[in-house]
Structure 1
């Protein structure tokens, strides 16, 4: 028994069959790297570990990756996942060309666009509505928030505040796209309270999907240097499981949880998942949820006039 809404079940319910995301790598960077090294947890390759080179045409990337993934997972329909860096940090005409090229690939039923909260603008959203969604393709906007703790956002050089995230969600929601938010629940400086508050803020917004990551520290990142010099400390595995269970308990019950732990090649990181495989961490998470008697949303009692209910007014 799953105690939360899984992404695989969500996709099957939404599309009527198994669907898988195919990562696409574009020749794009991030505004936070234009005059520096970007977020302290970001390495020079961004996060597109599974993607092909950005020099390979989009359609070729999709076709070649589909051949591998389709056989492995038995999927026949796919979403083009523009994953790495900030995909709307491109001139609109270039962004349009890449997205429309992806839609020409066989068995692609939609796009998922990963970006930053400070790189959402109405003209990009209008394009996705008029030339993608209105043609029958699914659209998901994935926003990297990481935490609602504005002190931590500054410390990790995130380059945006909570306000930009709120604005991006509220700007995107009227278009009817699925909205996904990425969070990291064990950033240096954050606590259990920050994990819970992050769940609560996101649940109060028109967000559909949450992707939770456990922090990994890639080589050649600023955080890699800070970690090596002993300038930061990380929570234990047990503390992360505690944060994750409380996070899920506080998340709105209708939301979908796409991920619980990061998955990254060990050779690319100096720290990842406490040296434990993600499926063992998932087992520990499941055991702790069962021990506590938790299911997703069981602590989501803070919305829609909570004090009025408490005092029976």
Structure 2
């Protein structure tokens, strides 16, 4: 096993292939409306981490995508994925309504994109009950374990909030998927390794790796145009992914090692290379050099 792939984990868990259905809502986050900051993270555009074109109610979005995927792939099981912005940053009753609207046939899990500082206990308590019938995964944006970097990207929270949210979620049996960007301009290889170690120490169940992309109209775009930041090379990104995986516990499920990114309105996007080519290159190198997830943890397991 090069790394523990998400698709294979889902087959192991549910007995067959499972597809994610993205849900896009009209939301915001406390880092945009002035609660803990304004303008959002310096890399975040108006879509809030989503570039899906979904419209309609939650059930309409689910049923539309479900029908399309069922027809194309003969799929039977799905995960409802609340994808954009901070889905726990809204009225509690509205949040409950949103989750309950997903409890339809063939939805076996619910993934919720959120922030570590927006996970109040009453939301977690409610999700603990839902978790009895659907697999609940909190997709929590951390991006980096370096709290100096978190300040530079205007996250509006530090590492401590992520640690606290993860501990409280785990007490309720909820899965946590950490979102990590491995090529932030202020991070180096030591930060990559430390991030993996912190996720291991917290018992994080899943991780989703991103490559930083730069969207027109963001603070990061302004910095990029003024040459105030430098993006590492594609080869260095690949090396960082491999290093991260080598230090990551072998049981952690890896949702992805490089993400799709919108090329439209972007100043920088995956080094002008397709995401699947980057992924395949990483896997090929690891296979050729006998590298694998958890390689550097074997001595202490």
Which interval holds the TM-score relative to the shorter structure? over 0.9
- What TM-score do the two structures reach when normalised by structure 1? 0.92
Tell me the alpha carbon deviations over residues 158-180 of structure 1, each in whole angstroms, 9 at most, x when there is no partner.
11000000000001001111211
1:39 corresponding residue in structure 2: 41
Q: Secondary structure at the match of 2:261?
A: coil
Instruction: Summarize the alignment of residues 1-313 of structure 1 with structure 2, pairs less than 5 Å apart.
Output: 2-35=1-34, 36-53=38-55, 56-104=56-104, 106-130=105-129, 132-134=130-132, 136-301=133-298
Q: Distance in 2 between matches of 1:244 and 1:73?
A: 30
Q: Distance in 1 between matches of 2:143 and 2:164?
A: 15
Tell me the alpha carbon deviations over residues 222-242 of structure 1, each in whole angstroms, 9 at most, x when there is no partner.
111111111111100011011
Q: Distance in 2 between matches of 1:93 and 1:51?
A: 26
Unpaired segments of 5 or more residues in structure 1?
Answer: 305-313
The Cα of 1:303 is off from its aligned counterpart by 5.2
Q: Distance in 1 between matches of 2:74 and 2:42?
A: 37
Tell me the alpha carbon deviations over residues 112-160 of structure 1, each in whole angstroms, 9 at most, x when there is no partner.
1110000011100111112x123x1111111110000111100010110
Q: Secondary structure at the match of 1:233?
A: coil
Q: Distance in 1 between matches of 2:211 and 2:124?
A: 30
Q: Secondary structure at the match of 1:43?
A: coil
Given that 1:86 and 1:116 are in contact with CA atoms closer than 8 Å, whether structure 2 keeps it comes out as yes
Q: Secondary structure at the match of 2:295?
A: coil
Given that 2:261 and 2:270 are in contact with CA atoms closer than 8 Å, whether structure 1 keeps it comes out as no
- What TM-score do the two structures reach when normalised by structure 2? 0.95
Given that 1:215 and 1:262 are in contact with CA atoms closer than 8 Å, whether structure 2 keeps it comes out as no
Question: Number of matched residues?
Answer: 298
Root-mean-square deviation (CA, aligned residues, Å) is 1.4
Q: Secondary structure at the match of 1:31?
A: coil
The Cα of 1:16 is off from its aligned counterpart by 0.7
Q: Distance in 2 between matches of 1:120 and 1:20?
A: 26
Unpaired segments of 5 or more residues in structure 2?
Answer: none
Given that 1:24 and 1:51 are in contact with CA atoms closer than 8 Å, whether structure 2 keeps it comes out as no
1:311 corresponding residue in structure 2: none
Given that 2:169 and 2:175 are in contact with CA atoms closer than 8 Å, whether structure 1 keeps it comes out as no
The Cα of 1:69 is off from its aligned counterpart by 2.8
Tell me the alpha carbon deviations over residues 175-199 of structure 1, each in whole angstroms, 9 at most, x when there is no partner.
1112111100001111111111111
